[in-house]
Structure 1
Amino acid sequence: IERQGHLKAFCYVAALCFLCSDVVSRKHLEEVSAKDLFSRLSEKGLLENNTFIKELLRTIHREDLIIRLEADRGNLEETDARRVLSNFRIMLYKIYDDMTVDGLESMKLLLMSKLGKRHLDHCKTALDVFAEMEKKELISDTHVDELYDVLLKLDVKLAKTVKHYTMRYEGRFHTQVHTDLNLKFRFCTLYKGPWITTTVCVCSVFPFLQFKRGHSPKWQNSHPSCTSLEREVYQINNRPVGLCVIINNENFLDGSQRRGTDKDARNLAEVFSWLGFRVLMCKDLTKDQMDQALTCVASLHGDAFICSILSHGKKGVVLGADRNPLSIKEITRKFRGCDQSVLTSKPKVFLIQACQGGKIQCGVQLNDMETDDDTSPLTIPEEADVLVAMATVEDHAALRHIFDGSWFVQSLCEQLKERCPRGEDIVSILHYVNDDVAHRETSSLAKQMPEVRFTLRKKLVLPPQHS
C-alpha cells in the first residue's frame, strides 16, 4: 500500500483506519502508517482472519492485494468467527467513494451549524466528516436520518445508499418481531431422504415426526434376561431411529454469508438419513427461532437424538442469523434427564460447527513435551447421556472451505460412512475425526483441533438402516 505514492498511500491508509475504527480504538489510529495499522490489527488477532482482511481490501477496491494474499496464504479457507467489519462502515465508505469534491464542500456547508467551522476545516474527506458526525452523535449504526436528509439535498443516488442500508436495518427488527410473536419457522424442511415432507413450520411437523416405538428400553434394561451387551450399548429399536435436527445458518441479517455450509448440511443429512434418522433441516434461524425449535423437538420420542448446528460462534455460544448468541449449555439443558422428558436415558448428540474464539491454531513438532500449566480441566455437562462434539477447542477458530465445506463436518461424515457399518461406537469414531482434523492444515499452516465432551453411560452404535 505504501508503495503507491505518498498521496495515494495516505488515502488508502485513512480509509482502512476508518473501516477499522469499530475494532481498533480511534486513539490508536491517529497518524498511523499502513505498517502501524496492520500491527494494531495483529494485536487484536485480526491479521490472521483471512475473511476480515479480504473484506477490508475488497471495500477499498484493492483486489490486486487480495490476489497476492491468496497466493501467499491460500484462498479457500474461512472461519466461523464473528464478522467484524460492519455494514454501517461499508455504507459510509461507499458514500465517500462516490462523492465528488463539490459534493464534499456542499455537505460541509450543510453541516456547518451542527459541527462548527473549526472542526470542518480539518476535514479533508467525507470520511473525516462522518467521523466528526459520529463524535457529535449525529449518526450511528442505528441512526442515519441526519445523514440521509443532508445527502438528499446533494445527490439522490448517495441518499439511496443510506436508504438501502436503512431498509435492511429496519427489516431486521421486523423479522425479529414477527418471529417472536408467531413462533414461525418458515425455513424448516425435512430432508428428502427415506422420509419426505414439504416446507413446514417446526410446530406443524409434529404428526409427521411421531415414531413407531419398539420395545421399551426401560423394560429391556430391567428385564431379568437382559444381556450384557444390552447393558453396555444403547438400544436402538425404533424405525426411524429418532430425529436429526440440522440448523444451517448460511445467510445472516447483516448481509454476510457462511460459504460452503450447504455442503456440510447436505452431507450430514445424507449420512444420518442413511443411519435411520428422520432429518429436519432448518435454514437461517435467528437466536430465538433456534431456541424455540429446539424446545419443540425436545418433547419428541425416539431412541436417539442428533442436533447439528452450523453457524458462526464465540466462546460457549452459537450465533443465530441475527448474530444474537445462544448458549450451548442452554441448548443441552433442554434435554436433561431431571426434566423426565421422553428422551431421558436416551443418547443425545450435539455436533457444533462454529468458532469458539478468533485465535488460529498453529502446529507443533511431535516431541516429548511437559508443561507446568495448572489450568483446570474442561468440565462436562452434569446431565447423563449427552455428547457434545465441537469443531474446535475454546478460544479458537473453526475452518471452513468455501466449496468443500468444513474440515470437522466433512471428516465426521467420512468416518461415519466408513465405520458405522463395522459396528464402531460414536465416541470411537469421533477419536478418528479428531486425529484426521488434527493432521490437516491450510497453506498458511493454520491447524484445528476438535473437542468432544460426553456423559454417555453406554456405547452408542448406529448401524445403517438403508442401502
Structure 2
Amino acid sequence: MSTNIHKLLFRVSEALVEDDLAALKFLSLEHIPLRKQEAIQEPKAFFQALQEKGLIEVGNLAFLKELIYRINRMDILGKLLLSSREEMERELQIPGKAKVSAYRQLLYGIAEDLTPEDVDSVKFLLQKQIPKSKLQDNAPMLTVLLEMERNGVIKEDDVTTLKDILKGFRADLKKKIDTYEEETKGNVSEEKLCYPTCMSVNPAGQGAEEGTQARLLVESYRMENNPHGYCVILNNYIFKNPEGMRKGTVKDGEALKRVFKWLQFETVEYMDLEANQMYAKVKEYSKKDHSKMDCFVCFVLSHGEKDKIKGVDGEFVNIKDLLSCFSGSNCPSLAGKPKLFFIQACQGSVGHPAVTLKEDFSDHLETDAVPLVSIPDQADILVGMATVEDFECYRHAKTGSIYIQCLCDKMELLCPLRKDLVTILTEVNKEVGRAVLNGWKQMPKISSTLRKQLIFQIPQSQSTEN
C-alpha cells in the first residue's frame, strides 16, 4: 500500500510544471511555513513535506485532490486521482472539508485573473510600501502577494490596500474582495476578541443610544521591550542511565532557540541537568529583575512521571515547585506579566488510542514519560503540555519531538499574522491531534490563567526567512 502511494505521488509530480509547484506552495502556506517552502524546489519534496504533516497519507488524498483541483489541473485530477471537477465541487461545499483557507483562495484567484499588464500596474502602485528590489519586472503575482504579506501590507483580516489598488483598473476583482470581506466580517479580529454583546438597558425612546450594544474587548499584554524577556530551555539529552538518552531533543533545542531569538527573547539553553539543578536554575531566573521585561518563557524537555520531571541523575523535581518560583510573591517583578511554561514530556505510560493508522515516523518514535500539571492559583500563567494526563507523547529520534517541532512551525507561520498565543496553541493541538504515531494518538493540552491576549511582536526589519 505504501509503495502504491509513492508511485502515485511520483506520477503526479512528473505531470506538474514549475508554475504548478509555485501555486501549490502558495495555497499550502497555512500548513507549511514559508521558511520551509523556500527549500522545496521540486514537487516530490513538496509532497514529502505534506506527508510529514499528515496531509497526505494512505487512504486519505483529500488535500492533494483539493490542491490539484484549485490549480485547475483537471487532467491530473481525473487520470491519476480518479476524481472530477463536479465531485470536488460537491465535496468542498461540505463544511470543514476545504483545507485551503478562503483568504488563500481569494489571493490565488486574483493572481490567476490578472494580466501581465495588470501585474505591472500593481507593482508600480506598491513602490512606496515594498522595496523596489522585491518588485522585479519578472516577478509573478504570487511573489508580489507574498511580499505584500511579508511587509504587512495585506493579511487575512485586512486586504484593504489590495482592494484600493485593484479598484482603479480591475473593478471585477475589487468586487471579489468585497464579497470576501462580507463573508468574513463576522470573524473575530486578531487583535481584539469580543465577548457576547450586552443589550442596552435604557428605556425605549431615551437617547440616541437606544438599542445599541456595548462590547467588552480583551486587552493584550504589553510587548514593548527588547528583549521581551528570558526564554530558558532546560534540555535533558544524555542521562546517567544510557537507556534514557533522548535522541532528537537537540533538534528541539535548535528550533526553539531560532524561533525565540527571532521573537526578540534573550534565549539560553541548559543541557543535561540533574533534578536539583533544574529547580535551582528555574529559581535563579525567578530572582532576576524582570522589571524591564514583558514576559518569561521556560521550556522543559525531559523524561518523567506523573506530576514530576526527571533529571539526568534519575531523580525527580515536581512541576508545581517549578511553577511556584514565579508566583507573585516569589517573583514580584513579573507580577501581572505572562509566564509561559512548556513541558515536552509524557503524563503517563499508556499510548493514546487511535481510530485510524498512518505511516509517519513509526520507525523512529520514542516516548518521554512525565507529568500531570496543575496550574497554581495565580494569574498570568500558561502551561502548554505535550499531552493530556495519563498518556505518552512522542519524539522523533532524528527530527525532534512532534509537539515542539509543530509549535515552532506554527509560531513562525502565525506570529507574523498577529495571532495570539492561545490561538496558535489551539492550531498545534489540532495538527498534533490529527496524526497517528506508532499506532497511537497524542493530544496536547493548554492550561491557562492568562487574563489578556498574548501577541508576539515581530521585528519590522526581520522575517522568519531571515
TM-score by length of structure 2 reads 0.47
Highest RCO, 1 vs 2 (Cα 8 Å, sep ≥ 6): 1
TM-score by length of structure 1 reads 0.47
**Greater percentage in helix:** 1
Between Structure 1 and Structure 2, whose CA radius of gyration is higher? 1
